[in-house]
Amino acid sequence: MSGFKLGSRSRSELTGVHPELVKCVEKAIAVTTQDFSVHDGIRSPAEQREMVARGASKTLNSKHLTQPDGYGHAVDLVPYVNGKLRWEWPLIHPVAAAMAYAAHSLGVRIRWGGDWLWLVDEGEDLPPTAAELEARVNAYVDHRRSLGRSAFIDGPHFEIHP
């Protein structure tokens, strides 16, 4: 057990998020070695347009928007250190490992914004180490470059995948 817990703001951000993804976040906070905050759950279309305009998102069809089933399918989990949100990769990796472990143990498929090609799968040995997660990010970036495309990596982003 980590000793970390979700604060009232984080819980508020989970309102309207798919229950299976909420379960993953709740389990992840219980096992993580790095405290985190739920920075974003549901977004309005106007908020999403602003995120795209600022370059913080690449799509107007975000999983943060309410989906046809009535739930948002994405959360952004940002490391929390000494009362401040932090976006550094070495802090993001343990959060991603905790989410992978949580999803795997609950049987929920998730996609991570650090490696958009990876779906947490029941056949994997989890949790991945920070070094394995860093290698995943690097391999994803290399793959995109090999296709002549840029790589948009979003370490705090997690989305449920059917």
**pTM (predicted TM-score):** 0.92
Q: Please count the other Cβ atoms lying within 10 Å of the Cβ belonging to residue 76.
A: 21
Range 74-100 average pLDDT = 95
What is the rounded average pLDDT of the residues 146-153? 93
Q: Token pair for residue 65?
A: 């928007």
Q: In degrees rounded to 5, what are phi and psi of residue 159? A: -135, 145
Torsion angle (degrees, nearest 10) of CA 23, 27, 32, 35: 60
Helix (H, G, I), strand (E, B) or coil at 110: strand
Q: Which amino acid is at 135?
A: A
Q: Say which CATH topology domain 8-160 has.
A: Muramoyl-pentapeptide Carboxypeptidase; domain 2 (3.30.1380)
**Domain positions in the chain:** 8-160
> For residue 122, is pLDDT > 70?
no
Give how far the C-alpha of residue 162 lies from the chain's centroid of Cα atoms, to the nearest Å: 16
Burial of 151 (0-12, 13-18, 19+ CB in 10 A): middle
Mean pLDDT score of the chain, rounded to an integer?
92
